[in-house]
Amino acid sequence: MSRMRLLNNIISKSANQVEGFCIAKNVQVKSNAKGSDYLDLILGDADGEINAKLWDYDPAVHGTYKADSVIKVRGTVSIFRDAEQLKIERIRNLHPDEDVDMSALVPCAPFDSEYMYSKVWDCTEKFKCEELKRLAQYFLTKHRDLLICYPAALKVHHAQRGGLLYHISTMLDAAQAICGVYGALYPSLNSELVFAGIILHDIAKMKELEVGSLGLARGYSAHGQLLGHITIGVSMVATAAVELGTSEKTELLLEHILLSHHGEPDYGSPLPEYGSPKPPMFPEAEIVRELDNLDAKLFTMFAAISGVNEEEFTERLWSLDNRQLYNHGNL
């Protein structure tokens, strides 16, 4: 993430004082060593986030605050343990009659969610396989309201309002091009199976992630922690297949795509669930796995590079094998 826009709203250069609206992403009341309460917050906007403290907190004086709410703060920026921190001097909730630009506060996909949803739906309308069409449209219809706003992840890639649809629709665009090339070379390649697999591969993110009203993930649900979206997704497809009378073969192929879309297990990863219990074992599953990996990595790379100047390196990114990236600029 880049630096928060709030930190550019300077009202006093000499005091390094800023003021503006932001999102209270996390709110906790804590006590210091002397027993005095203070408010510990993570504040964010569309560009970044910062830790903030309100010392000597008294709810009767300062008010009460919830995560995923819009607030206005005034405070002084300082450096604590090599990171910026905001000491809050004034704080209040958004007034009902105030109008703020939510796109400046909440990271959003670059395309309208309704447009992306229609684009994905239109893809399924062209399916010749009725089983794949019914299954894909079953999930798109059942989870429409959540799909419109859900992020694709907690932090790593497409962690933004509408990010899940953005991830799916981008993968579909790439898959259509790839299937056009390889379908001509290998006529047995089933492009509709690829497209359906893409639409369903992360469908269980809506059960894995806990997401607030603003469309940003707060953490993982109990199901997400204990099972993960791969396992949950396979179960969701199995349940839908019974309800829709889907053939065993179609169900099995889709379940394998979901099971294998994270590729082979990475036993060196700090999060082993990033690997799959099975590697892709047919071409359509391989395409879904490779496109998922490519789209996630490119999103992460461009986001990181945008945060540094030309001819500079980023910090090391654990999600990209601890690599530093280079912003080469224009040639």
Three-state secondary structure string covering 168-210: HHHHHHHHHHHHHHHHHHCCCCCHHHHHHHHHHHCCCHHHHEE
Q: Is 219 helix (H, G, I), strand (E, B) or coil?
A: strand
Angle at the Cα of 42 (from 107 to 322), degrees rounded to 5?
70
Q: Tens digit of pLDDT for each residue in 101-139?
A: 888 888 889 999 999 999 999 999 999 999 999 999 999
Sign, CA dihedral 289-295-300-305, equals positive
CA of 57: how far to CAs of 44, 51, 263, in Å? 20, 16, 48
3-class SS of residue 79 = strand
DSSP character at residue 95: P
For range 162-190, the mean pLDDT: 97
Supply φ then ψ for residue 196, to 5 degrees: -65, -40
Task: Quote the pLDDT of residue 1.
Answer: 54
Mean pLDDT of 216-244: 93
Number of H helices, E strands in the chain: 12, 10
DSSP state of 315: P
CA–CA dist 177, 147 (Å, integer): 24
| CA nearest to 4, candidates 69, 65, 84 | 84
pLDDT over threshold 80, residue 269? no
The tokens of 71 are what? 């607030």
Half-sphere exposure for 215 (CA within 13 Å, toward CB): 26
pLDDT at 61 over 70: yes
Q: Quick one: which of 80, 107, 77 has its CA closest to 89?
A: 77
What would the two tokens of residue 139 be? Answer: 């999930």
Residues of the chain above pLDDT 90, percent: 71
Look at 39-43, 57-61, 95-99, 266-270 and tell me which has the smallest mean pLDDT: 266-270
pTM: 0.83
Q: What is the overall mean pLDDT for the chain?
A: 91
Tell me if 14 sits within 8 A of 73, measured CB to CB: no
Cross-strand pairs, 90? 74
C-alpha to C-alpha distance for 98 and 66, rounded to whole angstroms = 18
What confidence category does residue 274 fall into, taking pLDDT thresholds of 50, 70 and 90?
low
Which amino acid, 304? A
| Residue with token string 């993430």 | 1
Most confident of 63-77, 103-117, 236-250, 317-331: 236-250
How far is 252 from 255, CA to CA, in rounded Å?
A: 5
pLDDT score for 6: 85
What mean pLDDT is predicted for residues 251-266? 86
Query: What whole-number distance in Å separates Cα of residue 115 and Cα of residue 148?
Result: 10
- Residue of 212, 265, 208 whose CA lies nearest to 232: 208
pLDDT for 265: 57
